Structure 1
Amino acid sequence: MGNIKKVPLRKCIGCNEMKNKKEMMRVLKTPEGEITLDVTGRKNGRGAYVCFSKECLHKAIKNKGLERSLKMQIPQEVYENLERELDTIEL
């Protein structure tokens, strides 16, 4: 019998779809309370996943999914930084 490797799935906080962890970006709240984009997916802290699309990020902002997931109020400048970083990542 061959070993079947499990694919880690995560739910996008924008579109609420379950997708492969590698197909999404992780927004991270560090223990110091700083919010950053975790490219490696391995940094320490509370994370929330969003698809690599502006639509999903805008949905997450509109329905306050990011605030719920990270359990804190998020300033507008953080959303702007995330959108700029998403622009550099998108193909």
Structure 2
Amino acid sequence: MSRFNQLVAGGILLFLSGLLYTLERIALYIRWYAEISTGSWLEKPSFVDPFLQNWFVTLFLFAAIPFFLAAMNVTQKISPSENPTDS
């Protein structure tokens, strides 16, 4: 897997993690505003932690880290036959 592909895979996983987190927060606030718009609610609304409730957010976040670490490895070993600058 090339360095570019690792960066793209890590970026996509990080983006998906952030997107799922944001969508869950939006849904939570919409529900809370719908409850308080009536003027009364039975209990104080509980804000759940998406990292503990939705394992996909955590999975995508932690799956992105190895891709970024592998892509940012500046000491990649390139054989002399693959080096285009050698004459």
**Higher radius of gyration, 1 or 2:** 2
TM-score by length of 1: 0.26
- Flag the structure with more relative contact order, 1 or 2, with Cα contacts below 8 A and sequence separation at least 6: 2
TM-score (norm 2): 0.27
Which structure has more strand as a fraction of its residues?
A: 1
